[in-house]
């Protein structure tokens, strides 16, 4: 039986697939708010029932928080595990929504039909594209092309506190030839992507203290150390005039961009002027010898996320503050060691302190970057499959953010992950009036069917 029959089944079944997605979207599965714990469980139960209808031995698996949903469909050939999350972000501020966030509907917009509701794009709509592709494939073939495992989390939007322990305790069950993650997006409207590199994240809060109280700037200004001034000097020293980070050893483990990946990125036609112009900026401010796209996807950064110190209320108060604080984050790539960078950063700060100024450090996470090895044959097969469905060829891309689950698959299960998603930049995830294009849903299902077809040939 041909792939064409599966694609025809997807088209015929699309109204029913849309209805199933609407059912899932109606569960207010907000994981961070205990008031919605029962809704999270109900959403998990709905998914387990839906997987059971495909013949999976799916069940809810308890955790200290919200349950996992795990299911398996046996088969010959490669073993793939598909990950998604059924929990959603809070909906506040509710008054900015045009309708009830958990009463989804299909709306006509100037750019096409969209599914409007919380979780439509992040991640219920994306999750269901793979399930619906499996449903259509099995309807035509009677079986799936390989062993398929489903792994759905209910705490992704609240820090995933149960995820790592669960993966470690169930490593033998979840380990596979490759993991599939559908929690990313497209490049523009017509170019599918496979994310193969994710930046790590290191957070540090620096607290400088001098006098034992705020001081009168007229009485003490001059001879007294001002921690805000000291902090400003430290922050200014974190970058050189070319935009490079000056923390000693910071670039250890940063790889060069492979020429074939650089060529794919160049072909994307990324417009840095428009990208920055959309947020009221105009000139790239990072490393001077790197393109804006390279800066986002393949280069490390050091950014100041917030500064406080002294009097910041209305009016004016002439004080020398006793304390100054800064929150500083590092996005990491390649083999950069977050713990080594933390130590080096702290040493740099201590070496810049004058007499009478002390420092405290408060850590906020330290996760390394993830880079997928694309030599598994399914990577290139999937890239060609996606290219057959969308107007533009698929590309291997990076992601400026951090998606820890991809790293966990590698570190805990020794399984490389393919991140393939069909979200759009204007989906307003985490914001009021979240949406998912109907075309993203439809072509997402078709894309996964094409990837399943490639899987059947391995």
Interstrand relation of 215-216 and 319-320 (parallel, antiparallel or unpaired): antiparallel
Q: How does DSSP assign 286-311, residue by residue? A: S-TTS-HHHHHHT--EEEEEEEEES-
pLDDT band at residue 159 using 50, 70 and 90 as cut-offs: confident
**pLDDT higher than threshold 90 for residue 402:** no
Q: Which residues, at least 6 apart from 325, have a Cβ–Cβ distance to it below 8 Å?
A: 205, 206, 207, 208, 231, 306, 307, 308, 309
pLDDT band at residue 304 using 50, 70 and 90 as cut-offs: very high
Q: Which of 148-152, 225-229, 233-237, 260-264 has the lowest mean pLDDT?
A: 260-264
Report the pLDDT value the prediction gives residue 351, as an integer from 0 to 100. 98
**pLDDT higher than threshold 90 for residue 3:** yes
**pLDDT higher than threshold 70 for residue 1:** no
**pLDDT higher than threshold 90 for residue 77:** no
Write the pLDDT tens digit of every residue in 192-237: 999 998 899 999 999 999 999 999 999 999 999 999 999 999 999 9
* Domains in the chain: ranges and CATH: 3-198+369-456 (3.40.630.10), 200-254+300-366 (3.30.70.360)
- DSSP character for 340? H
- Stretch (H or E) spanning 406: helix 404-413
Using CA atoms, how far apart are residues 80 and 91, in angstroms rounded to an integer?
Answer: 33
Report the pLDDT value the prediction gives residue 76, as an integer from 0 to 100. 86
Q: Span 106-131, mean pLDDT?
A: 97
Write the pLDDT tens digit of every residue in 342-389: 999 999 999 999 999 999 999 998 988 988 888 889 999 999 999 999
Q: Span 313-341, mean pLDDT?
A: 96
Report the pLDDT value the prediction gives residue 295, as an integer from 0 to 100. 95
% pLDDT > 90, the chain: 91
- DSSP character for 353? P
Supply the pTM of this predicted model: 0.85
Q: Span 311-334, mean pLDDT?
A: 95
Report the pLDDT value the prediction gives residue 401, as an integer from 0 to 100. 79
């Amino acid at each position: 039986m041909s792939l064409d029959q599966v694609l025809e089944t997807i088209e015929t079944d699309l109204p029913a697939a849309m209805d199933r997605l609407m059912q899932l979207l109606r569960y207010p599965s907000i994981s961070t708010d205990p008031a919605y714990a029962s809704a999270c469980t109900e959403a998990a139960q709905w998914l387990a029932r839906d997987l059971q209808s495909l013949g999976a031995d799916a069940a809810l698996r308890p955790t200290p928080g919200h349950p996992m949903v795990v299911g398996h469909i046996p088969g010959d050939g490669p073993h793939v595990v598909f990950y998604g999350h059924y929990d959603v972000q809070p909906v506040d501020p509710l008054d900015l929504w045009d309708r009830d966030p958990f009463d989804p509907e299909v709306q006509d917009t100037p750019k096409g039909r969209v599914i409007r509701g919380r979780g439509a794009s992040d991640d219920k709509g994306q999750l269901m594209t793979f399930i619906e592709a499996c449903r259509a494939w099995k309807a035509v073939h009677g079986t799936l092309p390989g062993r398929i495992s489903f792994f759905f989390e209910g705490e992704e939007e609240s820090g995933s506190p149960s995820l790592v322990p669960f993966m470690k305790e169930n490593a033998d069950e979840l380990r596979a030839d490759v993991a599939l993650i559908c929690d990313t997006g497209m490049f523009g409207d017509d170019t599918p992507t496979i994310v193969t590199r994710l930046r790590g994240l290191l957070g540090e809060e620096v607290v400088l203290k001098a006098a034992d109280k705020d001081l009168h700037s007229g009485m003490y200004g001059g001879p007294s150390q001002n921690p805000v001034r000291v902090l400003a000097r430290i922050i200014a020293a974190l970058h050189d005039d070319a935009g490079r980070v000056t923390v000693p050893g910071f670039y250890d483990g940063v790889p060069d961009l492979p020429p074939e990946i650089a060529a794919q990125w160049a072909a994307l036609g990324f417009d840095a002027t428009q990208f920055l112009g959309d947020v009221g900026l105009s000139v790239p401010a990072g490393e001077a010898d790197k393109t804006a796209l390279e800066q986002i996807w393949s280069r490390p950064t050091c950014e100041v996320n917030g500064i406080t110190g002294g009097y910041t209320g209305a009016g004016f108060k002439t004080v020398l503050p006793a304390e100054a604080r800064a929150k500083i984050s590092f996005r990491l790539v390649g083999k950069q060691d977050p713990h080594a960078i933390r130590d080096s950063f702290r040493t740099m700060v201590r070496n810049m302190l004058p007499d009478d100024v002390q420092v405290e450090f408060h850590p906020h996470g330290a996760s390394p970057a993830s880079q997928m090895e694309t030599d598994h044959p399914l990577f290139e097969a999937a890239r060609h499959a996606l290219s057959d469905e969308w107007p533009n060829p698929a590309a291997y891309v990076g992601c400026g953010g951090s998606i820890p689950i991809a790293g966990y698959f590698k570190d805990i299960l020794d399984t490389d992950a393919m991140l393939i998603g069909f979200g759009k930049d204007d989906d307003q995830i985490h914001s009021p009036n979240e949406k998912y294009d109907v075309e993203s849903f439809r072509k997402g299902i078709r894309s996964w069917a094409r990837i399943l077809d490639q899987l059947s040939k391995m």
